[in-house]
Structure 1
Amino acid sequence: MKVMVLVKATEDSEAGLDPSPEFAQLLEKMGKFNEELVAAGIMLGGDGLKPSKDGKRVAFDGKSRSVIDGPFAETRELVAGYWLWEVKDMAEAVEWVKRCPNPMPGPSEIEIRPLYELSDFEEMGTPEALKRHEDLRKSLER
């Protein structure tokens, strides 16, 4: 089972990089945790995200597109970083997250979301569409 593990943004993460010794210690702890994930064969990818002031959103309404510049107001709705993990089930993902160092100086949250698998779409997709998605997935793995 693949899961996306989302580190929710806080006021601290939205403020940007912090040159303090505490931040350096946090980077060290997170690096060690990432090494554990890789050694266990769990981590497929992941990164931290720059603050929303550096981002953009594209809003869709029918054929219309509009670009919205950051920063975005609702910090609690933003993501500050992510991992992509391969785990046997949600319980294993939860256990790994519970071992994670607090990713922020203060209170924070990490959200775990399972990814759809191609089998989830078998009843509604055409054989051609399903094959196209499977071929793309295989191409990305190479």
Structure 2
Amino acid sequence: MAKYMLIMRGTDETLARMQATPFEEMLETVGRFNDELIGAGVLVAAEGLDDPAQGVVVDFSGETPVVTDGPYGETKELFGGFYVIDVASKEEAVEWARRIPGMSGAKCEIRRVPGIDEFPQDNEWVVRERAWRERTGQL
């Protein structure tokens, strides 16, 4: 099994369509899909994100980090939510991504999440993180 993050990227059109959908209808549609993920035993985490206008950006392109309000760039550069699933292969992650509701016209980026076992186990920082994960029930 391997963890994959499914990152949902919208467009101006898909964002407008989502905002026009009644909240209860959106909850029902997404809830059914989430229930399928839970039933299949693959869901690790799932979160939607707040309006990008409510966020801030920390830009590290200069000597000193600069903090600005609101989203950066275009809508297509932002992501609106994510799933982390634990599946047998990238192909299975793709199959789940194909089923995400309400994505017509949008994109979903799929990225593998490396496990802690893939890092050098004699590294001080990996040892500390492993201990933290064990203490918090993540391992």
Establish whether residue 28 from structure 1 lines up as the match of residue 28 from structure 2: yes
TM-score, with normalisation over the residues of structure 2?
Answer: 0.81
Name the count of aligned residue pairs: 137
Distance 2:109 2:83 in 1: 10
Give CA-to-partner distance per residue, 1:55-78, whole Å, 9 cap, x none: 111123687332111132221111
Establish whether residue 82 from structure 1 lines up as the match of residue 82 from structure 2: yes
Give CA-to-partner distance per residue, 1:84-107, whole Å, 9 cap, x none: 11111111111111222233xx51
Establish whether residue 46 from structure 1 lines up as the match of residue 46 from structure 2: yes
- Cα offset for 1:119? 3.1
Match of residue 117, structure 2, among 92, 96, 119: 119
Equivalences for residues 90-101 of structure 1 within 5 A: 90-101=90-101
Which residue pairs with 1:133 in the alignment?
A: 129
Which residue pairs with 1:4 in the alignment?
A: 5
RMSD: 2.6
Distance 2:30 2:82 in 1: 12
Distance 1:37 1:115 in 2: 18
**Is residue 55–residue 70 contact of structure 1 (8 Å, CA) maintained in 2?**
yes
Aligned residue identity for 1:117: G
- Name structure 2 gaps, 5 residues minimum: none
**Is residue 3–residue 86 contact of structure 2 (8 Å, CA) maintained in 1?**
yes
Aligned residue identity for 2:47: D
Aligned residue identity for 2:84: L
- Cα offset for 1:15? 5.4
Check 1:75–1:91 CA distance in 2 against 1; reply closer, same or farther (3 A cut).
Answer: same
Distance 2:60 2:17 in 1: 28
